[in-house]
Amino acid sequence: MSIRPILPSDMAALRIFFASLSRETRRLRFHAPIGELSEHILREFTANPAHVAFVAEVHDSAVDPPTTLVAEARFVRGADSESAEFALVVADNWRRIGLGTKLTRIMAQRARFTGVRRLSGDVLDDNKAMRGFAHSLGARLSRAIGCVRLSLEV
């Protein structure tokens, strides 16, 4: 497994990754029941320079290795801001092995390097796993309507 910045050429792999997530995981990631990601969103996620994104991948074979994505993390910095919105999702069968922590640390390091001081994100109230994960990283949690706002100083 390796972690690297996302590339425009990852569009097909990212489509497959999101499609392979359980309905519940997609709901928790996008805050709504969502089936397939549109071409527009996939382009935004892979080729928009405002998005700083990383993927975790595994290689399926040794010859001309096709890539399988197992996690994705990103932040988007607001204009003239020291804070950025972040998102993280790990494939259902790749959780609880430290992958989310590793991706978050890499993302926080890159954020710090680019002048971001705080990563923030909204988590649905019923996403206990992500709330617990954020708490373990030292994030501040505050209530909002229907969700919890996470704020992680980097």
Where exactly are the structural domains of the chain? 2-153
Give me the pLDDT at residue 62, please: 61
Q: Which residues of the chain have pLDDT under 70?
A: 60-66
Give me the pLDDT at residue 144, please: 80
Q: What pTM did the predictor assign?
A: 0.89
Using an 8 Å Cβ cutoff, are 152 and 88 in contact? no
> From 1.20.1080.10, 2.60.40.10, 3.40.630.30, 2.40.50.180, which CATH number describes the 2-153 domain?
3.40.630.30
First to last CA, the chain: 25
Give me the pLDDT at residue 66, please: 64
Give me the pLDDT at residue 35, please: 87
Give me the pLDDT at residue 106, please: 96
In angstroms, the CA 20 to CA 5 distance is 20
In angstroms, the CA 43 to CA 66 distance is 20
